[in-house]
Structure 1
Amino acid sequence: MPSIDHFNLWSFDLNLLVAFDALMRERSVTRAAGRLKIQQSAMSHNLGTLRMLLDDELFVRVGQVMKPTPRAEALSAAIGRMLEQAQDAITSRDTFRPETEERTFSIGFSSELEVLLMPGLTAQVQRCAPRIRLLARPAQPDDVHRMLDDGAIDLAIGCFDEGAERHRRKLLFEQSLMCCFNPGLLDLPVPISRDVYLSQRHALVSQNASIRGCLEDALRAAGVELEVAMAAPEFLTVLGTVMQTPVLATLPSRIIRRYASLLGLATSAIPLDLTVTPISMVWAAHSDGDPASEWLRQQVQPILAEIEDDEPSQDLAAINLAASST
């Protein structure tokens, strides 16, 4: 990058170059003033300042027109190019063509959202943008906003709050919970009653130092305690534990409906009214108007429609209510 003498440029009123260009195009102080929507006296003052700074007459009256001097002619092309480039830089909006773009987007996920969204999102992106790559990264609620600020991720999807004013958040869907267990190790009636649920040992997802992890606040609000046998950050670890251990796993409903039957696990509604953090999409405010970032956020919407089809039915809600009153 060429060196720029910022001090000298700062002391030079660059608006004078605009005035110079207008004079070159109009060859008239009056018409140049009209072009810039200023008074003729102001344009005359600009010309006088230019003459003093550049030590040249620049424009000499010949009849009814102002004829540029050789120095003005020599300056004209360079100044014209500079002003055109400045105009393009100020007024043009970056374009993003997904069908030809080649780049990598990094997306931060919390817990199960990676496995729920990434397969469908990858398929969707590859259909319309085959050269775009998606990098999934784990993002903890305590770290996600810093990762966005640092540019470590372009987008985050999960149990995330609003962050600061420099962040944007869009609510995607509310979460619901179910539980599952290995019927070969636990002989439990389905739907599971409140007393049975509270009497069992549990396996939970935790992405922090708490053994109760993601359910800690919800359990406290419900005024109940669980005897937790294990907690892990990945839901597959929790499901794997349930396959080999007589414990109950409480997980998001979408995960249990998708994987429990494949692993031979029995499922039940949760006999408690547990409120958990909804799923949101979070991004840095400075990328609001970026066409590439906006395109990436739009790709999430079709995948959400598929996930919403997995929502619990009214029958399941009725079972949940019956179980909680048992």
Structure 2
Amino acid sequence: MSSIDHFNLWSFDLNLLVAFDALMRERSVTRAATRLKIQQPAMSHNLATLRLLFDDELFVRVGQVMKPTSRAERLAVGINQILSLAQHSITASDEFCPEQEERTFTLGFSSELEVLTMPKLTAQVQRCAPGIRLLARTVQPEHVHRMLDEGDIDLAVGCFSDGAERHRRKFLFEQSLLCCFNPAYLDLKLPVSRSDYLAQRHALVSQNASIRGCLEDAVREAGVELNMAMAAPEFLTVLSTAMHAPVIATLPARIVMQYAPLMGLAMSPVPFEFSVTPISMVWAARSDSDPAAEWLRQQVEPVLAQIEAHSALSRAGSLPAGTN
């Protein structure tokens, strides 16, 4: 962005440029006044002011027309460009053609939502907008609103809460949990009972300094204490630990349903009502009317709805008898 001397421009009546352009087109004070729908004396005053500012006659009467001077001819090119650009900026409507657009959208995710959303979202976007690129970033709940404010991300999806008035949040679905373990290391009856769950060592996802990570508040509210063996920021690390060690991993149901069977892990509902933050879409209010941002939200929402519907069907058909 080029530097602008705002003080000098403020002291210059930019309407005089419109008057100059009208004089260049009409070559008559009377016709220029008619074009601008002002009185002839006002147009004559504009011409007098222009002559004073540019220290040049600018227009000289030759017969029945006002002929521009050499200085006016040189000024005309730049002034016309300025006015054309201003007119386009003022009158152009915001349009977004995803089929033709070339740009990158940055999406912020919490925890497992990235791996669940990005593959299907990328496939969908590539079918209808091949020039659109998607950049995923891991975002902590305490940082998401600042990143939206600073333009680091265009949209956030995950377990995010309400922000300030300058933020928007749309609830998508409730977050549910499942636990899993390797039956070669833990001989537990399904579904896992409360006593068995509390008797084992645990592995959880943690993206902060707490060993209990994302479940710390939920565990405290439930009034229980987990015997922690490990915590890691990536869910695959936690699942791999359950695959190789005698621990119970408690994770979002969608992740457990998708990956636990591939690793030979047994699945069970969590025998406690752990309260976890629901999944939401969060964005900056300033992008409410941006057609590109609106299009992005419209692409993300059905993908997540599909994931939730598939997860619900899988839970209903695959969990041990006696569970919901």
Q: Would you say how many aligned residue pairs link Structure 1 and Structure 2? A: 321
Q: Secondary structure at the match of 1:172?
A: strand
Query: Is the CA contact (8 Å cut-off) linking 1:205 and 1:238 kept in structure 2?
Result: yes
User: Structure 1, residues 147-197: CA drift from partner, whole Å, max 9, x if none?
Assistant: 334444333222222334444333222211111222222222222333333
In structure 2, the residue corresponding to 1:134 is in which secondary structure?
Answer: strand
How far, CA to CA, are the matches of 1:219 and 1:26 in structure 2? 79
Deviations 1:290-309 (A, max 9, x none): 44433333221231232121
The Cα of 1:120 is off from its aligned counterpart by 0.6
Match of residue 90 from structure 1 = 90
Q: Secondary structure at the match of 2:310?
A: coil
Mapped contact 1:59–1:66 kept (Cα < 8 A): no
Residue 66 of structure 2 is matched in structure 1 by 67
User: Gaps (5+ residues) in structure 2?
Assistant: none
Provide the rounded CA distance (Å) in 2 between the counterparts of 1:173 and 1:144.
19
Deviates more, 1:274-283 or 1:194-203: 194-203
Report SS of the residue matched to 1:136.
strand
- Offset from partner CA, 1:48-106 (integer Å, 9 cap, x none): 4223323455567899x773543555544432232111111233246544334444433
Q: Which moved more, 1:122-131 or 1:234-243?
A: 122-131
Structure 2 counterpart of 1:306: 306
Contact 2:24–2:68 (CA under 8 A) maintained in structure 1: no
Deviations 1:185-233 (A, max 9, x none): 2222222333333333221111111111111111222222222221111
C-alpha distance in 1, partners of 2:131/2:271?
47
Counterpart of 1:169?
A: 169
CA distance 1:235–1:205, shift in 2 (3 Å): same
| Residue equivalent to 2:15 | 15
Q: Percent identity?
A: 71
When residues 83 and 200 of structure 1 are mapped into structure 2, their CA distance, relative to the original with a 3 A threshold, is same
CA distance in 1, matches of 2:277, 2:212: 14
* CA shift for structure 1 position 245: 2.2
User: What is the CA RMSD across the aligned residues, in angstroms?
Assistant: 3.4
The amino acid that maps onto 2:134 is L
Gaps of 5+ in 1: none
SS at match of 1:120: helix
Aligned residue number for residue 235 of structure 1: 235
Shift of 1:113: 0.8
Counterpart position of 2:265: 265
CA–CA distance in 1 between the matches of 2:28 and 2:105? Answer: 53
Work out the CA distance in 1 between the residues paired with 2:139 and 2:75: 55
Q: 1:2 to 1:163 in 2, by over 3 A?
A: closer
C-alpha spacing 1:12/1:111, structure 2 compared with 1 (3 Å): same
CA distance in 1, matches of 2:211, 2:2: 57
CA deviation profile, 1:4-31 (whole Å, cap 9, x unmatched): 6555433211121123334444566676
